[in-house]
Chains A and B, each alone.
Chain A
Amino acid sequence: MILDFAKNWLQDPSRITSQIARYLENSDDFDVKTVVREKDDVFFSEGDLNDSVYILLDGTVELSKSAPNGRSIAIDWLRPGALVGLISFVTGDPVLTTAVAVSPCKAIRLTEQDFFKIQNSNNELALLGQQLIIGNLIDRYHHVVSVHIELESINDTLQKERNHLREALKQLEDTQHRLISQEKMATLGQLVAGIAHEINNPAAAMLRASDNLLEYLPAIIALVDPDQEKSYHKFFLIGLKRKLVNSELQRERLQEWTALYPELPRSLLRKVTSMNDEALESIQGILGKKPGEQEKENLEKIVLFYESGYFLKNLQSSTRRIGEIVSSLKSYSRQDKGQFEKADLRDGLNDTLLLLANRLKKVDVVLNFSDIPNVDVISGEINQVWTNLIINACDAMKDRGELVISCGHSDSFVWVSFKDSGPGINPSAMHEIFKPNFTTKQQNSNYGLGLGLSISQQIVLKHGGQIKVRNADHGGAEFKVLLPA
């Protein structure tokens, strides 16, 4: 059913109100007043009791309500044709909203009496009255619908905003973690460089001292045995050149010699049997078939010189090892520069491997290094990438297996790959592994925050390169780092 008046109302609500106004003015039965309100004048306030209703002829009225937080929110704007105060007027309840003129207004004020009179008057006026009320209800309903739609779109925007904020917060946290981790690495680097420096001096002093001993001891030995008839110098040199005998062979020899010379203590024979064949032969000559107290004493002295040589050798090789570790530590943690420099990636790899030697004790490390050109890198950072990838491989293999490290190059890039013999990467996790906080490792003091790969990728990206990952054909994971040549 289409009511023409309703259509007309929507097109121009003031048509009906002006008709009503004309009726009321021309009728003797009514004594209604046309009221005028200036801007900011109040029709009625929220909570008032209302005994009249206004038919707005001109101007705009704002309806507002105070929210629980005390602020006043605008609810609706009424335009000519609208009834102001309709609901409180017909229900007798306190007014829901405050009505204020936002522009100069003209309105007809109807009392209860007037209202009933209109309804009971001649047909045409009553009909116009009904149309006015229905028209107003239509307007209000339209308003409610549009408010709902607006609310929905606001909610939608809000939700998007919230998601966006959540994402931003997460990124912020990730960045914070990364920064903390980088800061830690930088601190650690400085610490390591400092310790390396501190160890370097005593290590150098030790090496120098042992070099000097190497020079002085033969002279001292010559004082004891000037004609070399006791062969002290010879056995000192044998000790100095002692090669470690495989423990199985050593055990057999010891057994043999304890059977041969039951009168000699086992601890003495253990030292003797660590000598080479030539030395053993001359010792047998010294001891004779059945060594007495004199021979035993002679042997003890010889062993003394042999051991001195051996200790000196030990001292030298151990000191050299300390020196190597220190220099690896130094070049590994070249944090002090932090600048791009041309470097041979293999040097950093070797340093890293030396420092991780303990972790790699049970891992067969296979190096397939081919010649590669120098590349522009921040060595300290790139070493961190190698460290992360090697440690990840160790973790994946539970520290046992084979790690193949290869390198090579093409025209545009140099690559280094790490292939382990672990279980490989779960395909469902493949796209997640570079995300911060992704970890397959149990939370444990030994394990990190799952930032290793994320940081490695950032470092490689910063170098203009990329990390590729795949599961190798015969199992295990392969990480390949490409850096621009």
Chain B
Amino acid sequence: MESSDIYIICIEDEAEVLDAVVRDLEKLEATFPIDTATSAEEGRDLVNKLLDDGKKIGLIVCDHILPGDNGVELLIELHKDEKTMPAKKVLLTGQAGLDDTVKALNEAKLHHYIAKPWSKEELNEVAVNLLTDFVLENEPNVLPFMNVLDAERLSEAIRSGKTLSNE
């Protein structure tokens, strides 16, 4: 399909790691444009700019330790904003203490937690799953996503009439 206006945002301060994340999600980019930021502040600006341009944020993959505000704080903040609340949030972490993880789960409704080093398959599976959730919850027409996302779940939703277009 043509590229959608649903974005994947990756936030990570180490360029090599950011590069690896983007590369791992490469297959999804045909449908979900990826954009990147290297700090929480930049990520916040990027999200606002995309929203201003009328784009949607489908998935945010955020590193835990960032210069300035840390990833958990940013995810909490984005979750409190109704515009970014629907976005699926993944915390990428090398060393989260339990406290931070609990905080992220409770306050940012963190959807997934990936420990470094991760595998490409794991990251892709998580992203596909969460984006499937996102389109089911937010897109009236899920048909165009059949090829890239979880086709089984999407067709099940269509068959049972549980998509937004029927509500």
Instruction: Let me know if A426 is at the binding interface, CB within 8 A.
Output: no
* Cα separation A250 to B37 with both chains bound (whole Å): 10
Least CB distance, B162 to chain A, in whole angstroms: 31
B67 within 8 A of A: yes
In Å, the complex CA distance between A317 and B17 comes to 13
Q: Which chain B residues border A267 with CB–CB below 8 Å?
A: 26, 29-30, 34
Cβ distance A306 to chain B, nearest Cβ, rounded Å: 13
A123 to B30, CA, bound (A): 135
Cβ–Cβ contact A270 & B65, under 8 A: no
B22 located at the interface, meaning its Cβ lies under 8 Å from any Cβ of chain A in the complex: yes
CB–CB B68/A247 < 8 A:
no
For B26, the chain A residues whose CB sits under 8 A away are 267
Q: Is B42 an interface residue (CB 8 A)?
A: yes
User: Which one of A247, A266, A358 contacts B42 once the chains associate, using CB atoms below 8 Å?
Assistant: A247
Q: Which residue of B lies closest to A310 (CB)?
A: B19
Residues of B within 8 A of A317 (CB): 16
Of B15, B34, B35, which one neighbours A244 at CB under 8 angstroms? B15
Q: Is the CB of B65 within 8 A of A358?
A: yes
Distance of A314 Cα from B99 Cα, bound (Å) = 33
**Closest approach, in angstroms, between the C-beta of A173 and any C-beta of chain B?**
29
A362 in contact with B68 (CB, 8 Å): yes
Q: Are A270 and B34 in contact (CB under 8 A)?
A: yes
Binary per-residue interface labels of chain A (263-307) against chain B in the complex, 1 for a CB within 8 Å, 0 otherwise: 001110010000000000000000000000000000000000000
CB of B65 within 8 A of CB of A361, answer yes
**Is B36's beta carbon under 8 Å from chain A?**
yes
Q: Which residue of A lies closest to B33 (CB)?
A: A266
Are A266 and B30 in contact (CB-based, < 8 A)?
Answer: yes
Chain B residues numbered 46-62 whose CB sits less than 8 Å from any CB in chain A: 46
Complex contact A248–B42 (CB within 8 A): yes
Nearest CB on B from A395, distance (A): 14
| Distance to closest chain B CB from A247 (angstroms) | 5
CA of A250 to CA of B22, assembled, Å:
13
Chain B CB within 10 Å, residue with most, of A265, A270, A444: A270
Interface hub of B16, B22, B37 (most chain A Cβ within 10 A): B16
Contact A265 B30, beta carbon cutoff 8 Å: yes
**A251 in contact with B36 given A244-B15, A265-B29, A265-B30 (CB within 8 Å):** yes
Minimum CB distance partner of A250 in chain B: B36
A443 to chain B, nearest CB (A): 13
What is the distance, in angstroms, from A318's C-beta to the closest C-beta of chain B?
7
CA distance A411 to B37 in the complex (A): 51
- Bitwise, A219-247 to B at CB < 8 A (1) or not (0) is 00000000000000000000000001001
A362 with B67, Cβ < 8 A, contacts A247-B42, A248-B42, A314-B16 known? yes
Verify if A27 is at the interface (C-beta below 8 Å from B): no
User: For the complex, is A446 an interface residue (Cβ under 8 Å from B)?
Assistant: yes
Contact B37 A318 (CB under 8 A): no
Residues 3-40 of chain B, each 1 if its beta carbon lies under 8 Å from chain A, else 0? 10000000000011010001000100110011111100
Q: Is B95 within 8 A of A358, CB to CB?
A: yes
CA distance A463 to B98 in the complex (A): 39
- CB-CB contacts below 8 Å: A355-373 with B: 358, 361-362
Residues of A contacting B42 in the complex (Cβ-Cβ under 8 angstroms): 247-248
Q: Which residue of chain A has its CB nearest to the CB of B46?
A: A251
Contact yes or no, A266 B16, CB < 8 A: no
The answer for the CA separation of A265 and B3 in the assembled complex, in Å, is: 9
**Least CB separation from A307: chain B residue:** B23
Q: Which 4 A-B pairs have the closest CB atoms?
A: A267-B29, A244-B15, A267-B26, A247-B38
Q: What are 29 residue pairs bridging A and B, where the CB atoms are less than 8 Å apart in the complex? A: A244-B15, A247-B18, A247-B36, A247-B38, A248-B42, A251-B35, A251-B46, A265-B29, A265-B30, A266-B3, A266-B29, A266-B30, A266-B33, A266-B34, A267-B26, A267-B30, A270-B22, A270-B34, A314-B16, A318-B16, A358-B65, A358-B94, A358-B95, A361-B65, A362-B67, A362-B68, A362-B70, A445-B97, A445-B98
